[in-house]
Amino acid sequence: MANDTRDPVPTANTQSGNDTTERRSIRGEGGETHQTPTGKTDRLTTSQGIPVSDNQNSLKAGSRGPVLMEDFHFREKMFHFDHERIPERVVHARGYGAHGYFETTDAIPELTSAHLLQKKGRKVPAFVRFSTVAGSKGSVDLARDARGFAVKLYTEDGNWDIVGNNIPVFFIQDAMKFPDLVHSVKEAPDRAFPQAQSAHDNFWDFISLMPEAMHMIMWTMSDRAIPRSFRFMEGFGVHTFRLVNAEGQSHFVKFHWKPKQGLQSVLWDEAVKINGADPDFHRRDLWEAINRGDYPEWELGIQVFDEAFADKFEFDILDATKLIPEEDVPIRIVGRLVLDRVVDNFFSETEQVAFCTQNIVPGVDFTNDPLLQGRNFSYLDTQIKRLGGPNFTHIPINAPKCPFHHFQQDGHMAMHGPSGRANYEPNSWTEGGPRADPEAGFRSYPEEVSGEKRKVRAELFADHYSQARQFYESQTDIEQGHIADAIVFELSKVETLVIRERLVAHLPNINKDLAQKVADGLGLKKMPKAHEPARPVVDGLAQSPALSILANPPKSFAGRKLGVLLTDGIDDSLVAGLEEAVQAAGGIVEYIAMAVGGIETSEGRHIEAQQKIDGAPSVLYDAVTVIATQEGVDELKRMHPAKCFAADAFAHAKFIGLAGAGKALFEAAGITETDGGMINLDETDAKEFVSACADLRFWDRLK
């Protein structure tokens, strides 16, 4: 793609909306306007006292060029941010990992010289770490948050880290703003709360002044931010990378991880209750799945396009707040990732694993995405601080599994170093150590770069609303309702009215109905005046069904869990038939009773329970069944957790199986009428019930 020499336009990185505070404008080099309150304000400087002219953009060679190392303000800002915490990760602190392998299923030598992808059937070890972003190590699993999806492939040419998320875009366009983003969402420094949540003034103050975040906000306020399981969520490389073949030809690429068992999320009310009942819900789910042999699997898909095609987009492919709809560039599946082994020690593996975006192999290369360029600096710097020094690659989980040779030596905790006399190169010794390989060694793609050194962003980076609109309008009615409800909930926790109004003023640029729902939900007396977009919002972007979870149901109960509440004296054959049907579908049955000792069937068979009713709310299950005698229901009706089990299962639109006197428990919980999602197992074959559960929810109940 030719270097963009167009004049930059204001990116509207900050907007005042209906903020009644008098504000003045400070203009950056590229013309971007930063609104700041009038009155006496301190001048922003580096830690050396040098005044800062632009705190919004990193220094680049041309508006679309690479970030320059001489940007001392950016390096100092990021360096200090990376070293804020010890030893916990600043972001992605709460994580869980597992071992597995990656296998190439479709060789692509025409696109890349990467050894792993040259031949179908090539297989390498892998380690994957899933995580939340904002919370600490001790936070809960079901926080509303983006999820880290970091994959380390131990290839023949060294470690290749695809360090992504379960959302394909990000909040910001330039790494210069990453410390500000994270500071805003973390607990406030004066009070140290709230933690692992974004529903507070600081976060929404920052976001309301950053229109570039609106696309990501649509994702984080959607069901994507509260996944049912690590096993049921997508992963994305987020950035645009390059694939380079043996002839030096380059193509742009986006990486996608597609879960074989489909997508699934929970409802917000479920997330809140799951966090109370089992704050380790996602960890436990992954641990149990692997240990029972239900190995999670994803397909690696790529979107590939050339420079000419990239120039046709109405956005810039270097902008990490944008995605390429699958309908425009179909995904080609080239491999599969299988997790088949849990860690032996959580600290030495999951906690000490170090992912670095700069870890790529020959045949893969970076682009000038300013967020990616900043991450390449930040990650290595972070690992050195967090893991105690430059030798973190000596830790087994981080060490490559292919041969490696270099002249690096000493430092904290060195496990190995150069042998013999030579620890430098070039040298003239017979056994002088390793030498560079000009044929097979890594080479950067020789992209032509030119332009003025300026703190700017490319013109097309300034479209902040078009894809946010496309995402929202690609959701089903139910999902759109969840987005509106989530924004209302989050902003209801914001104490400052002007921040609420400033955020709502972005929404008409995305969807007027969404804006009205949120304004009504917040009780605003009038709709705030919409912010003026820096670039016109593109009307008529085609809906992308691939962006919706509910438009792509799994159509299978495989990997899901049925919670079966039992009482003494129930029919033996009914329980056995239900368990057989669930297992045949690839699901799991968990028995719940008034005591973990279990129950006795009418035939005298003992069934041990895995859970006691007051420790197993229905939110922990994908579907539920109540099989009870009248005597058993009479006991359950006296137990508040049992009535909540029934009421929540109904409220959360779960499929419900009823047998014996089970319906009476729901009547005791105030549910007097049944619907199509409540199925009588005395009259319906267990296989039919499990088949219905494949739809996961009976959404008609909530309409």
Roughly how many angstroms between the first and final C-alpha of the chain, as a whole number?
Answer: 48
Retrieve residue 292's tokens: 């029972």
Identify the DSSP state of 702.
G
Tokens linked to 145: 């948050």
Report the length, in residues, of the chain: 703
Are 698 and 651 spatial neighbours (Cβ–Cβ below 8 Å)? Answer: no
Tokens 């009713």 sit at which residue?
Answer: 613
Classify residue 685 as left (phi > 0), alpha (psi -120 to 50) or beta.
Answer: beta
- Is the Cβ–Cβ distance between 62 and 450 less than 8 Å? yes
| CB neighbour list of residue 544: distance below 8 Å, 6 or more residues apart | 325, 326, 327, 470, 471, 474
Catalytic one of 92, 256, 464, 482: 92
C-alpha to C-alpha distance for 599 and 695, rounded to whole angstroms: 30
Cα angle value 128/133/134 (rounded, 5°)? 155
Catalytic residue among 159, 165, 275, 511: 165
On the question of a cis peptide bond just before residue 227, with omega within 30 degrees of 0, the verdict is no
Q: List Cβ neighbours of 16 (8 Å cut-off, separation of 6 or more).
A: 23, 35, 502
**Cβ atoms of 176 and 44 closer than 8 Å:** no
CA distances from 200 to 185, 197, 222, 483 (A): 8, 8, 18, 17
**Is the CB of residue 618 less than 8 Å from the CB of residue 266?**
no
State the amino acid at position 600 in one-letter form: E
**Sheet strands (E) in 249-292:** 250-259
Mark out the alpha helices in 512-586 (DSSP H runs): 512-522, 572-584
List strand residue ranges (DSSP E) for 66-166, in order. 95-104, 123-132, 147-155, 158-165
d(CA 457, CA 441): 33
Asked about 165 being catalytic, the answer comes back as yes
Supply the residues annotated as catalytic: 92, 165
